[in-house]
Amino acid sequence: MSDFDDLLREVIRLGQRLAEVEHKNANMLRVGTVEQVDGKKGYQVKFAEEDGKAVPSPWFPHPEEGGTAKSWKPMPKGQIVFAICPDGDPRQGFLVPKGGFSDQNKAPSENLEEHVETYGDKFKKVTNKDGVTYSWGDKTSYKFGKDGIVHTVDGVSHTITKDGIIQKTSGASIELASAGTTFKAGGLKHDDRNIGKNHVHGGVMPGAGKTGDPDA
């Protein structure tokens, strides 16, 4: 064997080693979308190669907390994720779920002055400088702010502030404050008897006599 043969073998070995390192490096951090979901196995991710073909991944475990404080936030199909694979081996990898938005999973807001969390298309939590609002669909909400709390269900609201409590429906309201209680609009009954502003009494007599009970 000549020195040239030894040098050639070393060059070939280094070339193979370099190709291996490049392959591992290319697979250490990858971006893909969730393709399959399983409660026990976790997630299978679809990665795109340079030729445009989708490459299925091994199953990645759920990226959750598993200590004394536990979490469970399953990711839907189509969610963009980062896959971090030590030594370039996806079988030893784990997922980082915050990979951004897509046409399939759009951003819940474009307002840079608020933090938004949603679950499906019904539950929504919005935090901003005015407070925190929880909403379920478009008819039920809780709003917690520096001035008080407002609970709304299908047009009926209950408001608590430092000045008192206000309950409203589409046709009437009740206000409880330090100055007293105020009823606005609607009727007022006690034990099914009308005691509102338009109630009448029976047994009315002149003088100091007492009236009868309010008419029903």
Query: Nearest CA to 59 among 34, 25, 78?
Result: 34
Please tell me which of 29-38, 99-108, 194-203 the model is most confident about, judged by mean pLDDT: 29-38
50 strand-pairing partners? none
Question: Is the whole-model pTM more than 0.75?
Answer: no
- Model confidence at 211: pLDDT above 70: no
At position 136, the amino acid (one-letter code) is W
CA 45 to centroid of chain Cα atoms: 23
Q: Number of H helices and number of E strands within the chain? A: 1, 16
Give the span between the Cα atoms of 126 and 85, in whole angstroms. 35
* Chain segment 10-39, per-residue pLDDT in tens: 888 888 888 777 777 777 888 899 999 999
Q: Please tell me the least confidently modeled range out of 31-35, 127-131, 209-213.
A: 209-213
Strand order from edge to edge, sheet including 115-119 = 115-119, 123-128, 131-136, 140-145, 148-153, 156-161, 164-168, 173-177, 180-184
| Exposed / middle / buried, residue 79 (Cβ in 10 Å: 0-12, 13-18, 19+) | buried
pLDDT in tens, 51-103: 667 777 899 999 998 889 999 999 999 999 999 988 888 888 889 888 888 88
Between CA 16 and CA 9 the distance in angstroms is 11
Q: Are 105 and 99 in contact (CB under 8 A)?
A: no
- Classified as helix, coil or strand, 35 is strand
